[in-house]
Amino acid sequence: MTGHVLGLYAQGTVGLEPGSLVDLYFERAPVNARANLIEMAGIEVTNAEQPAPQVLERLQRLWEWRLGVLQQHADTDLEELKGFGWWFGSGKFDDDWALAQLHELLASEGTVDPDHTVAERLAALRHQRIAQVVACLSLLIDATHRHAAQQPWFVTAARDEIRAILEEGIRAADPETGRLARATVSRLIARGYTQFGDLLS
């Protein structure tokens, strides 16, 4: 059912209007099924050699719609959106759009899965968009700390990517980016990750 709904939407057969198949699916399906659709979309984009531009545009509208709906309710669990990790890690979407959506999700206290894929993509973008990358990484580190029971090994597993981003952030010409990078290092050290201490030397 999930794949059928996603396929019809991606092909343009159905839309997002009230009462549409997609609207009814997200209204009635349990959170794990909704999360599965978001994750499946990201995995399919990741595995596609070159997704059609119109498919990417439709998926962007789907994402913005779901994020907007869930943000309207302060007590809503953002669990269904964690599969955005696949979307972001794919590198198939516009970088500015992807970074903005990642920041919005994490700032709303959502999380992403797989988090290591997100860290790898952030590290790859650090030379061109260091301010956005440091901001997203700082939020991601805090998100995985909040969800430590589900994501206990993130900092250890992504230490090389984290170090590369924060090192570049500290050297950034923009004072705010440097300040945020140093503050992020300080939080890591306070949480026991003393291996990052030399970045403040």
Q: What is the pLDDT of residues 116-162, one digit of tens each?
A: 999 999 999 999 999 999 999 999 999 998 877 667 789 999 999 99
**Cα 94–chain centre separation:** 13
Kindly state the tokens that stand for 48: 């596609």
Kindly state the tokens that stand for 181: 């990078």
Q: Whole-prediction pTM value?
A: 0.94
pLDDT of residue 21: 95
Cα dihedral 129, 132, 135, 136 sign: negative
Rg of the chain over all Cα atoms, to the nearest angstrom:
18
> By three-state DSSP, how is residue 174 classified?
coil
pLDDT of residue 143: 93
Which of 131, 144, 140 minimizes the C-alpha distance to 180? 131
